[in-house]
Amino acid sequence: MIKRRLEEVFKDKLFSGKALILLGARQVGKTTLLNDLVDGQADCLWLNGDELDVQKMFENTSADRLKAQFGKNKIVVIDEAQRIRDIGLRLKLITDQMKDIQLIATGSSAFELANEVNEPLTGRKWQYQMFPLSFSEMVQHHGLIKEKRLLPQRLIYGYYPEVVTSNGNEKQVLKQLTDAYLYKDILAWENIKHPDKLLTLLRALAYQVGSQVSFNELGNTCSLDAKTVEKYIMLLEQCFVIFRLPSFARNLRNELKTSRKIFFYDNGIRNALIADFTLPEMRQDIGQLWENFVVSERMKHLAYNEIWANAYFWRTKQQQEIDYLEESDGKILACEIKWNPKVKAKMPETFKKAYPDTDFRVINQENVEDFVM
């Protein structure tokens, strides 16, 4: 069993007087984590928000009716809670009126669940995001040496739990994941009018991973207007498929101020979208794969360690650039991300003069653990 970083966090927060909200894409391990958490608990009620009778259970209900349905259970888990109408108000009712019950809710769409619970549960919840498996979790599972040897595998197939545990069947599992999750779940949300164009957009983003993207150019590629492209990208972000880095700009006139890069939370999903599982040694996009891997692992590291930092990239109109920037407590960390340890890199002089106290690092496969653990 691969131990997840959030397991101890959730154990510590049980019966703290607040609801526990767990967000994350389908199949990242939310249900497995909670099953382990409540294993052996006889007084736990598990409800699946995908089931119609569970959805109806919460319609036009009251605290007294819910108390009767919960019985003597002290833990109530509502899996895929975003499927239940007005779930935020229902969770508030339980939290306010049934203080002896530990409420846990999961959701695979921040668009649907997080938006629903933010206002009703203000001050009444602990909220966390769960990712696919991380480099750190796998190091804890079987050691640093073995996990570093598996880096080429991770760059191609990613870290979804079922992919990691399905040696030899990674392609088939990724196809099922993308078919069931990306093509069915996400396309069903928001009643998307042009699902074929959303898929074209996803593939365009996959090809441009780690590069600056223009909504206008993406719109031309997908036959969509720029506003629709931005709406779809926001939806994909809220469904935990992609995330964006904005451009960093403070002191210089020629810094790009409104640009952005798009990354995928998982390399395997990215490669499945473009149907390319070629070995790293034979790929032209190894730099993109490595950058996506490092940046996504850094996002996991920041989230799991509750480090408050803003992430960016930096580029000027003269094409000077830095792959990744992080600003925290008034300090700036600048990183160049290189797959080949022999490749040298240094901070651009323009940036060095404008931000002289910056900490600069080169992240490669030899020292990556220092950055993502």
Q: What is the mean pLDDT of residues 122-150?
A: 95
pLDDT at 305 over 80: yes
pLDDT at 185: 64
Q: What is the 3-state secondary structure (H, E, C) of the chain?
A: CCCCCHHHHHHHHCCCCCEEEEECCCCCCHHHHHHHHHCCCCCEEEEECCCHHHHHHCCCCCHHHHHHHHCCCCEEEEECHHHCCCHHHHHHHHHHHCCCCEEEEEECCHHHHHHHHCCCCCCCEEEEECCCCCHHHHHHHHCHHHHHHCHHHHHHHCCCHHHHCCCCCHHHHHHHHHHHHHHHHHHHHHHCCCHHHHHHHHHHHHHCCCCECCHHHHHHHHCCCHHHHHHHHHHHHHCCCEEEEEECCCCCCCECCCCEEEEECCHHHHHHHCCCCCCHHHCCCHHHHHHHHHHHHHHHHHHHCCCCCEEEEEEECCCCEEEEEEEECCEEEEEEECCCCCCCCCCCHHHHHHCCCCEEEEECCCCCHHHHC
Check pLDDT > 90 for residue 224: no
Question: Is 12 a member of any domain?
Answer: yes
What pLDDT is recorded for position 119? 73
Q: Same domain, yes or no, for 332 and 221? A: yes
Instruction: State yes or no: pLDDT of 179 exceeds 90.
Output: no
Report whether pLDDT(195) > 80: no
With respect to residue 111, please indicate whether it lies within any of the assigned structural domains: yes
**Does 273 fall in a domain?**
yes
pLDDT at residue 111 greater than cutoff 70: no
Domain closes at, from 100, 129, 158: 129
Q: What is the pLDDT of residue 180?
A: 72
137 found inside a domain: no
Owner of token pair 């972000």: 237
Q: Is the pLDDT of residue 237 over 70?
A: yes
Name the band, by pLDDT with cuts 50, 70 and 90, for residue 274. Answer: very high
Average pLDDT (354-371) is: 96
With respect to residue 73, please indicate whether it lies within any of the assigned structural domains: yes
> Does the pLDDT value for residue 188 go beyond 70?
no
Q: Please name the residues in contact with 352: beta carbons below 8 A apart, sequence gap of 6 or more.
A: 358
Domain that holds residue 218: 146-372
pLDDT of amino acid 187 = 67
Q: Compute the average pLDDT of residues 139-149.
A: 97
- CATH number, domain with residue 170: 1.10.10.10
Q: How confident is the model at residue 150 (pLDDT cuts 50, 70, 90)?
A: very high
* Cα torsion angle, 217, 348, 290, 292, sign: negative
Token pair in block for residue 120: 């009703």
Token duo for residue 202: 């996803």
293 and 191 assigned to the same domain: yes
User: Do 166 and 80 sit in the same domain of this protein?
Assistant: no
pTM (two decimals) = 0.93
- Does residue 263 fall inside a structural domain? yes
What is the pLDDT at residue 164? 97
The pLDDT value recorded for residue 318 is 87
The total domain count for the chain is 2
Q: Which pLDDT score, from 0 to 100, does residue 116 have?
A: 67
In this prediction, residue 177 carries a pLDDT of 87
On whether residue 276 sits in a domain, the answer given is yes
- Residue 63 is predicted with a pLDDT of 87
pLDDT at 30 over 70: yes
How much is the average pLDDT of 303-320? 93
Query: Is residue 136 in a domain?
Result: no
* 258 shares a domain with 118: no
- Percent of the chain whose predicted confidence (pLDDT) is above 70: 93
Residues 100 and 38 in one domain: yes
Is the four-CA dihedral 33, 34, 37, 40 of positive or negative sign?
negative
**Model confidence pLDDT, tens digit, residues 49-61:** 989 999 999 888 8
What is the average pLDDT score of the chain?
A: 90
Q: Is the pLDDT of residue 104 over 70?
A: yes
Same domain, 217 and 356: yes
Q: Both 82 and 192 in a single domain?
A: no
**Structure tokens given for 1:** 């069993």
78 and 218 assigned to the same domain: no
Residue 191 has pLDDT above 70, yes or no: no
Do 204 and 325 lie in one domain? The reply is yes
Are residues 291 and 216 part of one domain? yes
Same domain, 32 and 159: no
Given a cut of 90, whether residue 319 has pLDDT beyond it is no
220 and 314 co-located in one domain:
yes
